[in-house]
Structure 1
Amino acid sequence: MITYRDARPDDAEALSAMAQQSFIETFGPLYAPVDLDAFLDMAMSPAAYARQLADPAYRIHLALIEGQPVGFAKIGGNYFEGFDPAAPCLHQLYVLSAHHGDGVGKRLMDWVLATAQGLGDELYLSVYIDNHRARRFYDRLGFVKVGDYIFKVGNHEDHDVVMRLTL
């Protein structure tokens, strides 16, 4: 049975492990090991998640099976230049591949939309240009492309699409 709750400071280690596993499952083959390791150490370490869990600018919601994360969504400030800096941004929506199709992404996105409505009139996100599964998911929800973004993984530059949803 999948349960959902807001993340707590003591979730940093498990959140980091799940995020890294999901990122590697989805994108790992795209990167040289040195770039992937640098990115994971910087952006997805237990310390990085501990800082975010302690920062009121971030909100993280977990999907759990037997107390272990199988998915999560993270909302924070908008970091895309040229767009409303006060608008919330979906920073991550990750689900382990074994749970794709279980409704976890939809349920987490319901939380994202409900939470974002209390924070602004628009919600932004970026998605890797070749992540067709995610792009179809966001398209169905009404997100529209409004720009482009370079997402760095180590020294590797990915081309992302910036999307916006009017809430």
Structure 2
Amino acid sequence: MTVTYRAATPADYEPLADMARQSWVETFGYLYNEADLNAFIGPVFGPDGLGRELSDPAFQIRLAEADGRIVGFAKIGPVTMPGPLPAPAIELNQLYVLKPWHGRGVAPALMDWALDNAHATGAQFVHLSVYAENARAKAFYTRYGFTEIGRYGFVVGNQVDDERIWSKPL
């Protein structure tokens, strides 16, 4: 099945939010009780989170679609992690791919887009955060030249996770 890529629009909110929730729960849902999971997912992927970002020119979102369905996305925007961090910078806020599409070139295509567009903004660094125990993501980011430069507590409901800050000069 062919994967196509395009810029997200506000009209993509519902299917994108559904895909993002599914991907996040597939990857991290086992770590949290239901209350903590819902406390995180609602604001992040809801109308005031992802829905607002789709209309905010500070964010760029790229979709990967197969057979009319969103199977992955990448989002870049302002740096939200605690710092000080090298600047000027942009954050790769999210890069999610549904599990059936892992290993099929979707994540590299989205990462290439994110790095190209981050560079086009004039940023000199791209920062991202990754759960300390997410070995698959850390291996992927290492292949792209990202290195760990810090850590912080990532809050999901009442739980605080060990999140690592990674960076790459452009």
Please state which band the TM-score falls in when normalised by the shorter chain. Answer: over 0.9
Q: Quick one: structure 1 residues 79 and 48, their matched pair in 2 at CA, closer, same or farther if it must change by over 3 Å?
A: closer
Partner of 1:51: 52
Unaligned 5+ segments in structure 1 are none
Q: Give RMSD over aligned pairs.
A: 1.1
Structure 2: which amino acid aligns with 1:163?
Answer: W
**Which of 115, 140, 150 is the matching residue for 1:147?**
150
8 Å contact kept, 1:78–1:85? no
How far, CA to CA, are the matches of 2:91 and 2:42 in structure 1? 22
Structure 2 residue matching 1:57: 3-state secondary structure: coil
Aligned residue type for 1:146: I
Return the offset for 1:161: 0.8
Unaligned runs of 5+ in 2: none
Following TM superposition, by how much is the alpha carbon of 1:66 offset from its aligned partner in structure 2, in angstroms? 1.9
User: Residue 54 of structure 1: SS of its match in structure 2?
Assistant: coil
Aligned residues: 167
Among the aligned pairs, what percent are the same residue?
Answer: 46
TM-score under structure 2 normalisation? 0.95
Which residue of the partner structure matches residue 158 of structure 1? Answer: 161
- 1:111 equivalenced with 2:108 (yes/no): no
Q: Report if aligned partners of 2:87, 2:124 keep a CA contact under 8 Å in 1.
A: no
Are the aligned partners of 1:78 and 1:86 in contact in 2 as well (CA < 8 Å)? no
Which residue is equivalent to 1:126?
Answer: 129
Aligned positions of 1:24-103 closer than 5 A: 24-80=25-81, 81-84=83-86, 86-103=88-105
- Distance (whole Å) between structure 1 residues aligned to residue 151 and residue 63 of structure 2: 28
Offset of residue 118 of structure 1: 1.2
The one-letter amino acid of 2:144's match is L
Normalising to structure 1: TM-score of the pair? 0.96
Distance 1:85 1:54 in 2: 25
The list of structure 1 runs, each at least 4 consecutive aligned residues, that deviate by more than 4 angstroms after superposition, is none
Over residues 70-126 of structure 1, what are the superposed CA-to-partner deviations in whole Å (9 max), with x where a residue is unaligned?
A: 000000101222114641000000000011011100000010010011121110000
Measure how far apart 1:50 and its partner are. 1.9
